[in-house]
Amino acid sequence: MKICVIGSGYVGLVSGACFADLGNNVICVDKNVNKISNLKNGVIPIYEPGLEELIQRNVKQKRLKFSTNISNSIIKSDIIFICVGTPTKIKSNEANLKYIFQVVKDLKKNLNKYKIIVTKSTVPVTTGDKIQKLLTTKTNKKLFDVVSNPEFLREGEAIRDFMFPDRVVVGTNSKKANDVLKNLYSPIIKKKGRYFNTSRRAAEVIKYAANGFLATKITFINEMSNLCEKLNVDVTDVSLGIGTDERIGARFLRAGPGYGGSCFPKDTRALISTSKKFKTDLSIVKSTINSNENRYKYLLTKINEILNNNLKNKKITFLGVTFKAGTDDMRDSASLKLIPYLIKKGAKVSYYEPTGIKKDFDKKKVVYFNNIKDACKNSDLLIIHTEWNEFKQLNFNRLINKKKFKIYDLRNLYSPKKMKNKNINYFSIGR
Ligand code: UDX
Ligand code: UDX
C-alpha cells in the first residue's frame, strides 16, 4: 500500500521503516528540513537499536523515501499516519495539538481520492472527532475516514514492539477502513498478537489507559520499595512474589528512580486534563503523577544520607543520564532534577553516557566523559542511573581506585550480598 507518515520522530520513523519492511511504499515526511536531508544521506536523527539498518535496507529497495513536501506526499498516498509531536501545554497539562491541526489543514487541501487518515500520535480522547469535523465539507464526506491506531512502542525496543505487538488496536466504525488496516497489519498479526477493532474513541482511551496503568504500576512498586527499605526487605523479592500472579504480571515492576520519557509523564497529565473536561475524578492517576514527580526528592534525601549531608566538593559520577537505557532521550529523565540540585550543593558532578554528551547540562559545571574509567576515577559516589548492559559487570575497586567510595544503584543491577562480600559501600532501591 502507499503510505505517508507525517512526523519523522521516534514514532514516525520507526513506524514508517517497519511498514516499508512489510512491503509497503512509504514516504516519511517532516517539516524539519535538516532532519529530512540527513535522513536522505543515511544519517538517522535518533538512537534506536536496529533502526539504521532497517532504514538503509528499505531505502535501497526503494520502498522508503523522505520528503518535506507534505502536500505531494499526501496526494500520492492512500493511508496517512499522523505521528507529529503532541507536547504538554505547560499551564493546563493538556496535550498541545497545534502540530496535529497543522497537518489537518494540509490534508484538507489534498484529498484527491479516498484516504484513510490515522492518528498514531497519542491524542486526547475526541481528537479524532475534531479532525473529522475539520476535514468535512459538503462534498468530501466519502473521501476519507479518520481512524485511531495508537502505538505501544517503548524507546529502545520500538522495532521489536512494532513487529511483535501484544495487540494492534484500530479505532474505526468504517468497515472499509478497518478492512484496509487489517490487511496492512496482517503480516504482523499472523506471527503474534491480536488485531483488535473498536470505536475510534475507545482506541484513544485505550492508549491513555495503558500508559496511565503502566505508570501507576511502576509508581506502586517504587512506593513499595520505600517501605521495603524501612522493613529491611528486598523489593525485588516482592516484585517477583507478586509478579508471578498472572493477574498482576511480572513486567514493569522494576523499582527505580521514577518513570520519565516522552510518554508516561505527558500522557498521564493529558488523561487528567481530559477527565477534568468530562467532570470525572481520576484520583489514582493523579496520585501517580504526584508520587512520581516527587520521587527525586526521596532520592536526594538518600544521597545526602549516603554522603553524611556533606555534598560540598564531593565527586559524584553518574553512569547514564537518559530516562532509561537503550535510548538517547532525555525527556523527563530523573537526572535533570538530581544533577542541578547536587551542583547547587557544591558537588563536582561528572557523567558517562553511552549515547554521548547531552546539551541539557552546562559543560562547565557537569563534566562529560566518553568512557566509564575516566568518569569514575576518584569518585566519592557513583550513581548508576540507567540499566545499560555495560554497567552490569563493573569492577568498582579497580575503576574508582579510591579507598572510600560509595555506590548508589538506582536500577538494582547488583546484589547487595556480593557487594558486601567485596567490602563495597553499596546502596540501592528498596533493599
Ligand atoms: C510523538 C508524540 O510526542 C507522542 O505523544 C506520540 O505518542 C507519538 O508521536 P515522538 O515521535 O517521540 O512522539 O515525537 P517527536 O520525537 O517529538 O517527533 C515528532 C516529529 O514530528 C518531529 O520530528 C517534528 O519535527 C515533526 N513535526 C512536528 C512535523 O513534521 N510537523 C509538525 O507540524 C510538527
Ligand atoms: C512507554 C510505554 O511502555 C509504551 O508502550 C508507550 O508507547 C510509550 O511509553 P517508553 O516511555 O519508551 O514506553 O519506555 P518504558 O520502557 O515504558 O519506560 C518508561 C519509564 O518507566 C522509564 O523511565 C523507565 O525507566 C521506567 N520503568 C519502566 C521503570 O522504572 N520500571 C519498570 O519496570 C519499567
Q: Whose CA is nearest to atom 12 of ligand 1?
A: 10
Q: Which ligand neighbours the alpha carbon of 204 most closely? A: 1
Of ligand 2's listed atoms, the one at least distance from the Cα of 325 is: 25
Query: What CATH number does residue 377 fall under?
Result: 3.40.50.720
User: Final residue of a domain: which of 163, 198, 233?
Assistant: 198
Of ligand 1's listed atoms, the one at least distance from the Cα of 120 is: 8
Q: How far is ligand 2, taken at its centre, from the CA of residue 10, in Å?
A: 14
Q: Describe the chain by its helix, strand, coil percentages, rounded to 5.
A: 45, 15, 40
Residues 418 and 317 in one domain: yes
What does the pLDDT average to over 250-269? 96
Pocket test for ligand 1, best of 5, 6, 10, 327 (most atoms within 8 A of CB): 10
Separation of alpha carbons 180 and 182, rounded Å: 6
Q: Which residues pair with 26 in a beta bridge?
A: 3, 64
With a pLDDT cut of 90, the percent of the chain lying above it is: 92
User: Final residue of a domain: which of 198, 230, 258?
Assistant: 198
Residues 177 and 243 in one domain: no
Cα 135–116–125 angle (5° rounding)?
A: 65
The model's pLDDT over 57-89, given as tens digits with 9 standing for 90+, comes to 999 999 999 999 999 999 999 999 999 988 888
Residues 211 and 255 in one domain: yes
User: Final residue of a domain: which of 150, 174, 198?
Assistant: 198
Residues 166 and 228 in one domain: no
Residue pair 358/352 in contact (Cβ under 8 Å)? The answer is no
The model's pLDDT over 364-413, given as tens digits with 9 standing for 90+, comes to 999 999 999 999 999 999 999 999 999 999 999 888 877 789 999 999 99
Q: Whose CA is nearest to atom 11 of ligand 2?
A: 261
For the whole model, what pTM was predicted?
0.92
Q: How far is ligand 2, taken at its centre, from the CA of residue 154, in Å?
A: 6
Residues 134 and 227 in one domain: no
Residue pair 411/322 in contact (Cβ under 8 Å)? The answer is no
Split into its structural domains, the chain has a count of: 3
Residues 245 and 371 in one domain: no
Q: Whose CA is nearest to atom 13 of ligand 2?
A: 154
What does the pLDDT average to over 423-431? 97
Q: How far is ligand 1, taken at its centre, from the CA of residue 121, in Å?
A: 7
Residues 103 and 166 in one domain: yes
Q: Which ligand neighbours the alpha carbon of 236 most closely? A: 2
Q: How far is ligand 1, taken at its centre, from the CA of residue 87, in Å?
A: 8
Residues 167 and 85 in one domain: yes
Q: Which ligand neighbours the alpha carbon of 267 most closely? A: 1
Predicted pLDDT at 421: 95
Range of the domain at 94: 2-198
Q: How far is ligand 1, taken at its centre, from the CA of residue 84, in Å?
A: 3
What does the pLDDT average to over 244-268? 96
Band (34; pLDDT cuts 50, 70, 90): very high
DSSP element (H, E) containing 19? helix 10-21
Name the one residue in this structure whose C-alpha cell is 556480593. 418
The response to whether residue 84 sits with its C-beta less than 6 Å from ligand 1 reads yes
Nearest to 382 by CA among 358, 402, 364: 402
Residue pair 131/102 in contact (Cβ under 8 Å)? The answer is no
Residues 85 and 217 in one domain: no
Q: Which residues pair with 196 in a beta bridge?
A: 169
Sequence-ordered alpha helix ranges (H) in 174-282: 175-191, 200-231, 235-243, 264-277
**Given a cut of 90, is residue 90 above it in pLDDT?**
no
Task: Name residue 208's amino acid.
Answer: Y
What does the pLDDT average to over 228-250? 98
Predicted pLDDT at 142: 87
Instruction: Specify whether 18 is catalytic.
Output: no
The DSSP secondary structure of 263-314, one letter per residue, reads SHHHHHHHHHHHHHHTT---HHHHHHHHHHHTHHHHHHHHHHHHTTT--TT-
Query: What CATH number does residue 238 fall under?
Result: 1.10.1040.10
Predicted pLDDT at 347: 98
Residues 64 and 143 in one domain: yes
Residues 268 and 278 in one domain: yes
SS3 state at 373? helix
The CA-atom distances, in angstroms, between 175 and each of 24, 134, 142, 408 are: 21, 22, 13, 55
Nearest to 396 by CA among 367, 373, 429: 373
The response to whether residue 257 sits with its C-beta less than 6 Å from ligand 2 reads no
The response to whether residue 38 sits with its C-beta less than 6 Å from ligand 1 reads no
Separation of alpha carbons 395 and 401, rounded Å: 10
Residues 379 and 272 in one domain: no
